[in-house]
Amino acid sequence: MELVTPQIGLIFWMTLSFLIVLFILGKFAWKPIMKALKDRQESIEGSLLAADRAKEEMSQLVFSNEQLMKEAKDERDAMLRDARKIRDNIIGEAKTKAEEEANRIVETAKENIHFEKMAALTDLKNQIAILSIEIAEKIMKENLSTDDKQKELVTKLLNETHFN
Amino acid sequence: MKGYKHHISRLLFLIVLIFSCSILFAGEAESAKTNKEKPKGDSLNVGTMILEHIADAHEWHIMTIGTTEVTIPLPVILYDNGKISVFCSCQFNHGETAYQGYKIETEGENKGKIVRVLDDGTVDKTAALPLDLSITKNTMSIFICLLILCVIFISIARRYSRNPNKAPSGFQAMLEVLILFIRDDIVQPSIGKKYEKYMPYLLTLFFFIFFCNLLGLIPFFPGGANITGNIAITMVLAIFTFIITSFSAKKSYWVHLVNTPGVPWWLKLPIPIMPIVEIIGVITKPFVLMVRLFANITAGHIIVLGFIGLIFIFGKMNVGIGYGTSVVSVAFSVFMGLLELLVAFLQAYVFTLLSSLYFGMASEEHEHHVENHTNH
């Protein structure tokens, strides 16, 4: 019977000490432990989520990178195309300009040559005239050295000349 | 995971080692005791020996060497007729002498209790028993167990707050398995969302019962007391559970109690059969908690002591038979010890599980008509 009869003293001490320890452990042990466990759980969950998100972002980044690269390539191609066109234009323009210049130069040269030729011809004509006069003078001087000859010439000239 | 297993197996090994050694010690202590008792009664009463071992005492008997008993004296605190007297239990001289008008009764109904004595040394039969608030062996064991709890868990808590978000290590890792087991497999499923406010009590309850059970398995000084096999202690724990259940009960719980839904009206109206059954059920729950733990632990202790006692019963017939029996008895005791290790955990688990189930039932908001009538 003694075995199943609770003793007052034991009940008293048990209640008192258990409550005190419950309070102490609740405050200094269970609270920080449960909090730490919860925090850790949350941080693990958070990390896993963050990792997933990072993975997704990564794949998106790769995708957008590819897009960007493609765009850049396209842009480069377009630029190259434009540049080529501009170059061609410039070259063509330069060519026509050069041709025009050349033509102009040739034209002026031709003109110059013509002028020069004309001048030379005039000069030549004058020279020939002067020479002819000189020759004629010399011939005249020879032919009119005698009076007969002079008379003959005068007569001849008089004959040729028609008096009106 | 491997680390955890390693630690647990190491701990188990240690416990088994201590345990198997201590059985031998217990045997020696027993033999010493019986030797001493021989000249008195010359009869070996194993039953008395066992009951003495699982009962509480005012001094902590460690062993008897020859005729000198090695005990740890504990303080006696008595409240009698408005007067408090505090003295050392060594004044009783192991129950042989009276002190300040008190002595420990050695026979009869009040055996083991402190009673008043008359001037001539005989027990005062007319006087009421003094209120005994002594720090007895069991009280001391409770203090030791609670102290161990405090030391272990506060140091672990400090480790948690010192390395937040780190993996646990060592002893911390071992206990974390248990803490998480209690939280995720016992409390959360039985209480539900609002489980957190019950955690401190349930964790303290579980580890108190578990550690006390383990201490009870160690037969010498820091252990040896039959703490959780004492009805006063299991009663206090059961009452705590009962009080918390009642205070966390929602309206539906009380309605359920008085006016059980889903039952024919004639079971309630002229004679309130169902309310009576329900109220009996409410009282039965903590009562069963109390008896289950007490009976399991006490039974385990009695069986182990019984096996040890066998050695001396047979040893009295013939020394050879005694030695022969000792082999078998020790083997059985070791087996029982291992079984008790399992029971130590199991009873702590069951007590915690049922407590949290009761809390969960009481704090449930919505009504469930068909469940939990037959939980006990």
Quick: pLDDT tens for B56-106: 888 888 877 877 878 888 888 888 877 888 888 887 877 777 887 788 877
Residue type, B298: T
pLDDT band at B254 (very low <50, low <70, confident <90, very high): confident
pLDDT band at B366 (very low <50, low <70, confident <90, very high): low
Taking Cα atoms as reference points, which of B263, B142, B61, B79 lies closest to residue A11? B142
Spatial separation of the C-alpha atoms in residues B4 and B175, rounded to whole Å: 10
Q: What's the angle, vertex CA A83, arms to CA A80 and CA A88, rounded to 5?
A: 125
Residues B150 and B98 in one domain: no
pLDDT over 70 for what percent of chain B? 85
- pLDDT at res. B20: 52
DSSP class of B109:
T
Residues B235 and B211 in one domain: yes
Q: Which two tokens stand for residue A7?
A: 């003793």
Q: Spell out which residues of chain B touch residue A46, defining contact as CB-CB under 8 Å.
A: none
Q: How far off is chain A from B82, nearest CA to CA, in Å?
A: 16
Residues B183 and B195 in one domain: yes
* Residue B60 located in a structural domain: no
* Residue B259 located in a structural domain: yes
- Interface contact A24, partner B, CB < 8 A: yes
Mean pLDDT of A68-86: 95
Residues B180 and B166 in one domain: yes
Strand pairing partners for B80?
B83
- pLDDT at res. A25: 93
Spatial separation of the C-alpha atoms in residues A111 and A95, rounded to whole Å: 24
Residues B172 and B307 in one domain: yes
CB B190 within 8 A of CB B360: yes
Question: What count of Cα atoms within 13 Å lies in the side-chain half-sphere of residue B345?
Answer: 9
- Interface contact A31, partner B, CB < 8 A: yes
CA quadruple B52, B56, B57, B63: dihedral sign:
positive
Quick: pLDDT tens for A99-149: 999 999 999 999 999 999 999 999 999 999 999 898 888 887 877 777 887
* Residue B253 located in a structural domain: yes
- pLDDT at res. B193: 86
CB atoms within 10 A of CB B284: 14
Mean pLDDT of B191-211: 92
Length of chain A: 164
* Residue B124 located in a structural domain: yes
Residues B249 and B117 in one domain: no
Spatial separation of the C-alpha atoms in residues B120 and B1, rounded to whole Å: 69
* Residue B20 located in a structural domain: no
- pLDDT at res. B359: 93
pLDDT band at B16 (very low <50, low <70, confident <90, very high): low
Taking Cα atoms as reference points, which of B90, B91, B112, B111 lies closest to residue B101? B91
Q: Does B142 contact A18 at a Cβ distance shorter than 8 Å?
A: yes
* Residue B306 located in a structural domain: yes
ipTM: 0.80
Owning domain of residue B236 = 138-362
Residues B117 and B198 in one domain: no
Residues B201 and B115 in one domain: no
* Residue B6 located in a structural domain: no
Residues B108 and B206 in one domain: no
Q: Which of B56, B157, B240 sits opposite A28 (nearest CB)?
A: B157
The total number of structural domains that make up chain B: 2
Residues B201 and B89 in one domain: no
The residue with tokens 């169902």 is: B274
Quick: pLDDT tens for B112-144: 788 888 777 777 777 778 888 888 888 999 999
What pairing do the DSSP bridges indicate for beta strands B102-104 and B75-80? unpaired
Parse chain A into domains and list their residue ranges. 9-160
Residues B103 and B215 in one domain: no
Spatial separation of the C-alpha atoms in residues B38 and B36, rounded to whole Å: 5
Q: Does A9 contact B136 at a Cβ distance shorter than 8 Å?
A: yes
Q: Does B160 contact A32 at a Cβ distance shorter than 8 Å?
A: yes
Among B97, B115, B134, the domain boundary falls at B134
State how far the alpha carbon of A31 is from the alpha carbons of A37, B157, B197, in Å: 10, 8, 10
- pLDDT at res. B53: 82
Spatial separation of the C-alpha atoms in residues A97 and A91, rounded to whole Å: 10
* Residue B215 located in a structural domain: yes
- For the ranges B141-150, B163-172, B181-190, the lowest mean pLDDT is seen at B163-172
SS3 state at B191: helix
Q: Which of B58, B86, B165, B208 to mutate to test the interface with A (most CBs of A within 10 A)?
A: B165
Q: What is the edge-to-edge ordering of all strands in the sheet holding B83-88?
A: B83-88, B75-80, B131-132
Residues B296 and B235 in one domain: yes
Mean pLDDT of B296-320: 88
Chain centre to alpha carbon of residue B360: 25
Q: Spell out which residues of chain B touch residue A33, defining contact as CB-CB under 8 Å.
A: 153, 156-157, 160, 179
Whether the per-residue pLDDT at B241 is higher than 80: the answer is yes
